[in-house]
Amino acid sequence: EAQVTQNPRYLITVTGKKLTVTCSQNMNHEYMSWYRQDPGLGLRQIYYSMNVEVTDKGDVPEGYKVSRKEKRNFPLILESPSPNQTSLYFCASSLLPGETQYFGPGTRLLVL
C-alpha cells in the first residue's frame, strides 16, 4: 500500500530534550516536506527536500533541522524543543514539486 508513515504518533517531552520524528514514504517520491498545524493558522511549511541531500527552509524553520540521506526518509529533528513547538506535525511527499502531496497521519507533540 502506498503510504507515508510517521513515528511516533504522540509524544510528550520536556523543554530542551532532543527528539526526532521519523517520516518514510514508499512511493519513490522526489519531494518531501514537513508542516506544522496550529489552530487558526492552517498548515505552515517547516522544511522541504527536492531530493537526496537537497533541503531548504520553508516558512517557519527556526528550531528545526532535517536531513535527507535516503530518498524514502525525511526525519524532523528538534535539537532543543520549546513549548512554542507544541503542535501537530505532518510529513508529506509528492512525485515532483507542485504535484499532489500525500500526507502522513500526523505526530502530536507536547513540549512541557
Partner 1 sequence: AQSVAQPEDQVNVAEGNPLTVKCTYSVSGNPYLFWYVQYPNRGLQFLLKYITGDNLVKGSYGFEAEFNKSQTSFHLKKPSALVSDSALYFCAVSPYGNNRLAFGKGNQVVVIP
Task: Provide the binding-site residues for partner 1, judged by CB under 8 A.
Answer: 4, 31, 33, 35, 40-45, 48, 50, 56, 58, 90, 92, 97-98, 100-106
Nearest to 87 by CA among 73, 104, 106: 106
Residue 99: CB minimum distance to partner 1, A: 8
Residue 18: CB minimum distance to partner 1, A: 25
Q: Which is nearer to partner 1, 38 or 79 (CB)?
A: 38
Q: Which is nearer to partner 1, 40 or 69 (CB)?
A: 40
What DSSP state is assigned to residue 84? Answer: G
Q: Which is nearer to partner 1, 1 or 42 (CB)?
A: 42
Distances (CA, A) of 76 to 1, 40, 105, 107: 23, 23, 15, 11
Residue 108: CB minimum distance to partner 1, A: 9
Nearest to 70 by CA among 29, 21, 9: 29
Does residue 28 come out as left (phi exceeding 0), alpha (psi in the -120 to 50 range) or beta?
Answer: left
